[in-house]
């Protein structure tokens, strides 16, 4: 009897370790995500008129379900990996939580993603066509969520919850692309005015999140946008220098405004990630990360697989692990995983003033 009891206990303990031992402990109460297609986990699938959707093959081919999910990736994206690092499930899309199916039982306390492919810091013309939810509108949605959570747990508990949660903001690339595609914008603003205005407009939205209770911010700068396959087509497969130059200028302006913003507001902690430097290093030294193809997209058509979007009939590379770019604009799962490792541990020195691991305990 004793022996059997013992071995049963042993089995239970063993099962417990097996089931839970490998999952990471939850490090923060929740993650609230704002941004564009780099972190969209399915919001745009709920925009009936939007064509900015990753709801068809070959998107999702390496996702655990092997099905398209709305992520602009062959598999997971940075939002998923950030969740994993923090021991949390990926924050679900806001538009799924308020959809008919979930309306009555959804909670926002476990985190929400407001990110929408095509979104910019500025409300673009795409808003008219309801192609995406721009940042301002994402923050409006957060205000709605804030009211709901206040009803659910009360103001004091909510403040505590939000002050320990992480607010992730990944945006700006679409504004830069927009500027170089629109002669109207170029006539109205010099590039310097434009990138300054991007950064100051972002701070306005961050301030709204702070006023709503956010304290811990993960802010991701704009990447080396001139080197994505779509832009390389404009320069004989080389990077477009001007787009990269203004991405850097924007990032510089943003970093100095973030410092000022922190000084003006009690209790803000943030980690800034220099995506530009991170991608630049991947493109310069791909072999050290296991990549062999830095220019061409994995999924697409024509030169660099960048003449057409990733569609069911597009070419698909056989090894998604050796490509940095998945489609015309977006990184592969493999590249996103590397960026997230760097965001979290700051191992390559691309985070300032602290990395995300320090942000958690700050």
Please state the closest distance from residue 306 (CB atom) to ligand NAG, in A: 15
Please state the closest distance from residue 253 (CB atom) to ligand NAG, in A: 21
Query: Could you tell me which of 122, 131, 160, 145 has the C-alpha nearest to residue 33?
Result: 145
Catalytic residue among 40, 80, 274, 327: 327
Query: Could you tell me which of 47, 194, 22 has the C-alpha nearest to residue 127?
Result: 47
To the query of whether residue 161 is one of the catalytic residues in this protein, the response is no
* Tokens matching residue 275: 């995506």
Compute the distance between CA of residue 261 and CA of residue 74 in angstroms, rounded to an integer: 37
**Nearest to ligand NAG of 97, 202 (CB atom):** 97
To the query of whether residue 37 is one of the catalytic residues in this protein, the response is yes
To the query of whether residue 323 is one of the catalytic residues in this protein, the response is no
Compute the distance between CA of residue 285 and CA of residue 297 in angstroms, rounded to an integer: 18
**Nearest to ligand NAG of 105, 318 (CB atom):** 105
Please state the closest distance from residue 23 (CB atom) to ligand NAG, in A: 20
**Nearest to ligand NAG of 242, 345 (CB atom):** 242
Catalytic residue among 132, 274, 330, 336: 330
Query: Could you tell me which of 362, 357, 305 has the C-alpha nearest to residue 328?
Result: 305
For residue 316, the cross-strand partners are 299
What sign has the CA pseudo-torsion 7, 8, 13, 18? positive
Strand order of the sheet with strand 351-352? Answer: 112-113, 31-35, 166-170, 216-220, 269-273, 351-352
- The answer for residues whose C-beta is within 8 angstroms of residue 244's C-beta and 6 or more apart is 224, 225, 226, 227, 276
**Nearest to ligand NAG of 206, 240 (CB atom):** 240
What sign has the CA pseudo-torsion 301, 302, 308, 313? negative
**Nearest to ligand NAG of 29, 57 (CB atom):** 29
Catalytic residue among 36, 37, 175, 322: 37
Please state the closest distance from residue 35 (CB atom) to ligand NAG, in A: 22
Which residue number has the CB closest to ligand NAG? 238
DSSP 222-274: ---GGGSHHHHGGGTTS--HHHHHHHHHHHHHHHHHHHHHHHHSTT-EEEEE-
Please state the closest distance from residue 310 (CB atom) to ligand NAG, in A: 25
**Nearest to ligand NAG of 113, 351 (CB atom):** 113
Please state the closest distance from residue 304 (CB atom) to ligand NAG, in A: 14
The DSSP symbol for 124 reads -
Residues that bind ligand NAG (CB under 6 A): 101-102, 105-106, 235, 238-242
Active site residues: 37, 327, 330
């Amino acid at each position: 009897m004793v022996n059997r009891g013992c071995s049963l206990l042993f089995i239970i303990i063993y099962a417990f370790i097996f089931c839970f031992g490998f999952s990471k402990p939850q490090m923060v109460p929740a993650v609230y995500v704002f941004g564009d297609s780099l972190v969209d986990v399915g919001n745009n699938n709920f925009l009936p008129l939007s064509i900015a959707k990753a709801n068809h093959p070959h998107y999702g081919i390496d996702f655990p379900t092997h099905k398209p999910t709305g992520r602009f990736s062959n598999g997971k994206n940075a939002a998923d990996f950030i969740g994993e690092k923090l021991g949390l499930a990926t924050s679900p899309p806001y538009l799924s939580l308020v959809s008919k199916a979930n309306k009555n039982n959804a909670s926002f306390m476990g985190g929400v993603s407001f990110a929408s492919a095509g979104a910019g810091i500025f409300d673009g013309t795409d808003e008219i066509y309801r192609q995406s939810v721009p940042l301002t509108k994402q923050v409006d949605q957060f205000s709605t969520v804030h009211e709901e959570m206040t009803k659910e747990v009360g103001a004091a508990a909510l403040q505590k919850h939000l002050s320990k949660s992480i607010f992730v903001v990944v945006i700006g690339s679409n504004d830069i692309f927009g500027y170089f595609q629109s002669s109207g914008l170029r006539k109205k603003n010099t590039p310097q005015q434009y990138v300054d205005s991007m950064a100051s407009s972002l701070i306005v939205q961050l301030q709204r999140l702070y006023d709503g209770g956010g304290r811990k911010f993960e802010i991701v700068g704009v990447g080396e946008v001139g080197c994505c396959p779509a832009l390389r087509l404009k320069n004989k497969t080389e990077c477009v220098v001007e787009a990269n130059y203004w991405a850097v200028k924007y990032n510089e302006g943003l970093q100095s405004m973030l410092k000022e913003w922190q000084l003006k507001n009690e209790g803000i902690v943030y980690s800034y990630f220099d995506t530009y430097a991170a991608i630049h290093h991947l493109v310069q030294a791909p072999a050290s990360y296991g990549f062999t193809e830095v220019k061409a997209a994995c999924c697409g058509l024509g030169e660099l697989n960048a003449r057409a979007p990733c569609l069911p009939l597009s070419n698909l590379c056989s090894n998604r692990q050796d490509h940095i770019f998945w489609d015309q604009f977006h990184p592969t799962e493999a590249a996103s995983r590397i960026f997230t490792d760097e965001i979290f541990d700051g191992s390559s020195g691309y985070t300032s003033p602290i990395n995300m691991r320090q942000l958690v305990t700050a």
